Amino acid sequence: ERAGKPEAVFGEGKSLEELVKIIEAYVKEKGRVLVTRVKKEHLEELKKRFGNARINERARTVIVGDIPQPFAKVAVLSAGTSDIAVAEEACETLIFLGIEPLKFYDVGVAGIHRLLEPLKKCMEEGVVAIIVVAGMEGALPSVVAGLVDVPVIGVPTSIGYGTSLKGFTALFSMLSSCSSGLAVVNIDNGFGAAVFASLIARVAKRGESK
């Protein structure tokens, strides 16, 4: 395994048998594994098979093996309640990678005042990055990046209808942002945002240990 990239499995489209086989192989070889995008019906079965697995139903993730002590903090904000599944995928991936997530959900732009308190908290806690999950018009990451000076990672979600274009409006909105300090990952890719944030944390720690 290359340093910094997680032992992760993309669960979508895999049968229960395939998942069990892959998990066992990873655990044997690496001691641990993270599985994402697991179907609801598979989650319960995996719980039974892997007794002490960590299951997150909203995130649809499974972690088998030890969870490391956190060595850094990353904030995870979500704009609406429907974006929480993706935000939770990010959080579970962070936890798996040894990062403590600070969660602030449902702080979208329709009520901008709810945003200031969380951002103050982020700064006090010394987060190394802020992951902002937002669907529909995807405005939240722009607003956040206009207010802070740590890297902001935007995660567009496929939440919305009509002109939301299954996440493309949020994606393009974030990329076209008039705020700088914002980079993005694929639609609904909470996992990818967390891996990227973890690499920032590693670089920050490297600095620290100098």
Residues within window 78-117 making contact with its own copies, judged by CB under 8 A: 79-80, 82, 108-112
Residue selected from 111, 180, 207, 209 as contacting ligand AMP according to rule CB under 6 A: 180
Which residue type does 53 have? Answer: A
Least CB distance to ligand AMP at residue 89 (A): 6
Closest residue by Cα to residue 118 from 103, 133, 97, 132: 103
Give the C-alpha distances (Å, rounded to integers) separating 190 from 61, 119, 147. 11, 20, 22
Cα 80 from Cα 39, distance rounded (Å): 23
Residue 16: half-sphere exposure toward Cβ, Cα within 13 Å: 12
Least CB distance to ligand AMP at residue 157 (A): 13
Which string of x and - marks every residue 71-110 that binds Mg ion (by CB under 5 A)?
Answer: --------x----------------------------x--
Cα 155 from Cα 191, distance rounded (Å): 10
State the number of binding residues for Mg ion (CB under 5 A): 5
Structure tokens given for 161: 């209808």
Does position 153 bind its own copies by CB under 8 A?
A: yes
The option from Mg ion, its own copies, ligand AMP, none interacting with 176 (CB < 5 to 8 A, set by class) reads its own copies
Look up tokens 């902001």; give the residue. Answer: 152
The option from Mg ion, ligand AMP, its own copies, none interacting with 9 (CB < 5 to 8 A, set by class) reads ligand AMP
Question: C-alpha dihedral over 32, 196, 198, 64, to 10 degrees?
Answer: -20
Does position 58 bind ligand AMP by CB under 6 A?
A: no
Nearer to Mg ion, 55 or 182 (CB): 182
- Would you tell me which residues interact with ligand AMP (CB under 6 A)? 8-10, 36-37, 80-82, 180, 189, 191-192
